[in-house]
Chains A and B, each alone.
Chain A
Amino acid sequence: MTTTLIPPADPRQVDLAGKGQPLADKTFRWILFVCLAVGVVFLGILLAYVTIKGWPRLTPTLWENMPSLRRPEQAGAQSAITGTLWVIGFTALFALPIGFLGAVYMEEYANPSSRFTRFVEINIQNLAAVPSIVYGILGLAIFARALALGQTVITAGLTLALLVLPVIIVSTREALRAVPQNIRHGSLALGATLWQTTWRQTMPAAVPGMATGTILALSRAIGEAAPLLLLGAVTFISFNPTGPFSAYTTLPIQIYNWTKESREEFQILASATIVLLLVILLAMNAVAILIRNRTQKRW
């Protein structure tokens, strides 16, 4: 044993080449790479397929014209774009304040070890995993029927707000938790109330995280079709929504409607609209990343 502790007598005998990377290491590295590649490759194929197929219709008529069943070569998705904007606007209007304030309560006010808090916490996480069609059924029963809001923009907004609320609460809580505790303590030690501390220190410091989480949640809502199928978006709409109680359609629903048609022109149109939807989603994610990079804080 003791011999290993003695440095080699001749420094030239030291061999630092080693045995090279073990086979298990290499294999594992390749397995990891293949797993990643599977996801990326299929996404790439999908993107290439819809872009190539929809290319002829990726013209301004796509967002300038209204849908038409008789002339697919002229039809566009304008009512679906404006419908999406209306619906997502109402989703944000309902989901953001409730989500932010609910998260603030959970993170800043509630006693983290109380049974009630833990119960709510677990259930919020469960809610985030509930299939979106279930929210559609809920929206149909409560907003459309019980509250007699009908199959309108506001019903869709409320339903999608419920759908993304758990995601917003969870991401806002994470953003608040990332604010160092000593900033809260510094504020409280000056005689600030918990409300002042939260409103003037913790929340402003958490804004970047809250913004990115919010945008990602809303982009999920934009791509959502299932709950809206139950909420009246399926009907053929060739006019822009005029207000919260207007009928509407959205991009995913429009895509769904067109893919059901047998004529090839509709398939091309659907592909072009998918590209449009993807561009909107990518743009929203880009904004989220931009906000995160711009406002990165060092504590």
Chain B
Amino acid sequence: MSDIHDSAAPQSTNDLANTGRMDVSAVLEGAEIPETVSNIVFDLNNVQVFYGDFQAVRDVTMQIGRNEITAFIGPSGCGKSTLLRSFNRMNDLIPGARVEGLLAYHGFDIYGPGVDPIEVRRRIGMVFQKPNVFPKSIYENVAYGPKVNGMKVNMDDLVEECLTKAALWDEVKDDLKKSAYALSGGQQQRLVIARCIAVKPEVILMDEPCASLDPIATAKIEDLMKELAKDYTIVIVTHNMQQAARVSERTAFFTADVDAEGVRHGRLVEYGPTRRIFTAPHDPRTEDYISGRFG
């Protein structure tokens, strides 16, 4: 909580770890996609996020497309995680956090009066940076969401379906009663994804889902994301630009402005198809960041 406020805190050096002359070959695969989003899930209009008096994110206007993977990249403290957390009202849990501007989900204002955050979060799931499995069995981790939402389903089938979709079933099918803590970090993160899709959301928000995983586990999660994008809309925050280039259709580049008082405010610099952002960015700041000349 306080680390979000504390602009003086040491910033992660992770940002620049994967820069240098980056290999953009990954973005050259596949078809070119148009600059404008046609099938809109999220429509953001001048969205601003505040923590008390501190403005963490200013003036974000963008559209997020259905069944696309949208990547948020940018240096630490640029507000990309903060913005992501406002999509399913997880920011409500931080005292003093508020959102201004219009953040519409299928045309409905997520912060409008009468909107139940519980309902928002059921439709818009979230995967966190650290695999936060529950201290329960693998089975119960997946069954928890449907249970609390009162879904009338055959739980055994649903658990199998979700674990299969999350590419975990074959590894755990004989150990469903075992504690989820017995799994490796990468398996735990896939379990979290299985748990997330068990409540049948439309959108999955991923907040640096691979930050605590090794490259092999990361590759598995990335493959899984591409597979899931057929059915779900995915928004991912990542510090790894290669990852953004590999998995996403669209990329939004954020950066932090430092104002006269030395306070950092996140802002959206450039948003477009990933291939264009990585090969022909319009903004010099984007160019600098992706080519490692940032800072």
Are B95 and A112 touching (Cβ within 8 A)? Answer: yes
Partner of B135, one of A188, A196, A205: A205
1/0 per residue A169-191: CB within 8 Å of B?
00000000000101101111111
Taking the nearest CB of chain A, how far is it from the CB of B200, in angstroms?
A: 10
Partner of B118, one of A180, A183, A191, A200: A191
- Once A180-B132, A183-B134, A201-B134 are accepted as A-B contacts, the answer to whether A189 and B88 lie under 8 Å apart by CB is yes
Beta-carbon contact of B122 and A187 below 8 Å: no
Residue A111 lies at the interface, judged by CB distance under 8 Å to chain B:
yes
B149 touches A186 (CB 8 A): no
Cβ–Cβ < 8 Å partners of B280 in chain A: none
Q: A183-B135, A298-B181 are in contact. Are A188 and B90 (CB under 8 A)?
A: yes
Pairwise interchain contact B90-A299, C-beta atoms closer than 8 A: no
Known: A188-B121, A191-B119. A183 touches B90 (CB 8 A): no
- Name which of B122, B126, B148 has the most chain A CB atoms within 10 A of its CB: B148
Say yes or no: is A290 at the interface (Cβ < 8 Å to chain B).
no
Tell me which of A180, A190, A299 contacts B144 (CB under 8 A).
A190
Within the complex, the shortest CB–CB distance from A193 to chain B, in Å, comes to: 6
Q: Does A13 contact B (CB under 8 A)?
A: no
**Chain B residues with CB below 8 A from A190, complex form:** 121-122, 125, 144-145, 148-149, 195-196, 198-199
Q: Are A189 and B126 closer than 8 Å at their CB atoms?
A: yes
Given contacts A187-B144, A190-B199, contact A111 B130 (CB under 8 A): no
CB–CB A191/B122 < 8 A: yes
Given known A190-B196, A201-B134, A205-B135, contact A185–B144 (CB-CB < 8 A): no
The answer to the question of A70 belonging to the interface, with a C-beta cut-off of 8 Å to chain B, is no
A4 touches B (CB below 8 Å)? no
- State whether A191 and B199 are in contact (beta carbons under 8 Å apart), knowing that A186-B192, A298-B181, A299-B135 are contacts in the complex: yes
The distance from the CB of A184 to the nearest CB of chain B, in whole angstroms, is 8
Q: How many residues of A contact B (CB 8 A)?
A: 23
Contacts of B118 in A (CB 8 A): 191-193
**A70: min CB distance to chain B, Å:** 59
- The reply on B51 being an interface residue by CB < 8 A is no
A:250-299 near B, CB below 8 Å: 297-299
A112-153: CB near B (< 8 Å → 1, else 0) gives 110000000000000000000000000000000000000000
In contact, B93 and A185 (Cβ under 8 angstroms)? yes
Per the bound structure, the CA–CA distance linking A107 and B196 in Å amounts to: 26
Closest B residue by C-beta to A190: B145
- When distances are taken between beta carbons in the complex, the residues of chain A under 8 Å from B192 are 186
Q: Shortest beta-carbon distance, B201 to chain A, in Å?
A: 8
**Do A297 and B135 touch (CB < 8 A)?**
yes
> Residues of A contacting B50 with CB < 8 Å?
none
Chain A residues with Cβ under 8 A from B90's Cβ?
A: 185, 188-189
| Chain A residues closer than 8 Å to B199, beta-carbon distance | 190-191
**Chain B 106-138 against A: per-residue CB contact (8 Å), 1 yes, 0 no?**
000000000000110111011010101111000
CB neighbours of B144 from chain A (8 A): 187, 190, 192, 200
| In contact, A113 and B128 (Cβ under 8 angstroms) | no
Query: CA separation between A240 and B121, bound complex, in Å?
Result: 57
Q: Which residues of B contact A188 (CB under 8 A)?
A: 90, 93, 121
Contact present for A191 and B121 (CB under 8 Å): yes
Interface flags for A181-217 (1: CB within 8 Å of B; 0: not) read: 0110111111111001000110011000000000000
| Contact for B148 among A113, A196, A204, A298, CB less than 8 A | A196
Q: Enumerate chain B residues within 8 angstroms of A200, measured Cβ to Cβ.
A: 144, 148
Given contacts A189-B121, A190-B122, A191-B122, contact A113 B95 (CB under 8 A): yes
Contact across chains for A192 and B95 when beta carbons are under 8 A apart: no
In the bound complex, residues from chain B placing their C-beta under 8 Å from that of A196 are: 148
Assembled-state Cα–Cα distance A5/B34 (Å):
60
Are A191 and B149 neighbours in the complex by a CB distance under 8 Å? yes
What chain A residues lie within 8 Å of B125 (beta carbons)?
189-190
Choose among A186, A188, A200 the residue with the greatest number of B CB atoms under 10 Å from its CB: A186
Interface contact B95-A193, CB-CB below 8 Å:
no
Chain B 78-105 interface mask (CB, 8 Å, partner A; 1/0): 0000000000101001010000000000
Residue of B nearest to A192 (CB): B148
Q: Which residue of A lies closest to B96 (CB)?
A: A113
B94 to A: closest C-beta gap in Å: 11
Contact A111 B95 (CB under 8 A): yes
Which residue from chain A places its CB closest to the CB of B120 in the assembled complex?
Answer: A191
Chain B residue at minimal CB-CB distance from A113:
B95
Query: A184: nearest residue on chain B (CB-CB)?
Result: B93
Return the contact of A185 from the options B123, B128, B181, B195 (Cβ within 8 A): B128
Q: Which residues of A contact B123 (CB under 8 A)?
A: 191
Q: How far is the CB of B127 from the nearest CB of chain A, in Å?
A: 8
Q: What would 5 A/B residue contacts be, using CB atoms closer than 8 Å?
A: A187-B148, A190-B195, A190-B199, A201-B134, A299-B135
For the A-B complex with A112-B95, A186-B132 known, give 14 more contacts whose Cβ atoms are closer than 8 Å: A182-B128, A183-B134, A183-B135, A185-B128, A186-B128, A190-B125, A190-B144, A190-B148, A190-B195, A191-B123, A192-B118, A192-B144, A193-B118, A205-B135
Chain B contact residues, CB within 8 Å of chain A: 88, 90, 93, 95, 118-119, 121-123, 125-126, 128, 130, 132-135, 144-145, 148-149, 181, 192, 195-196, 198-199
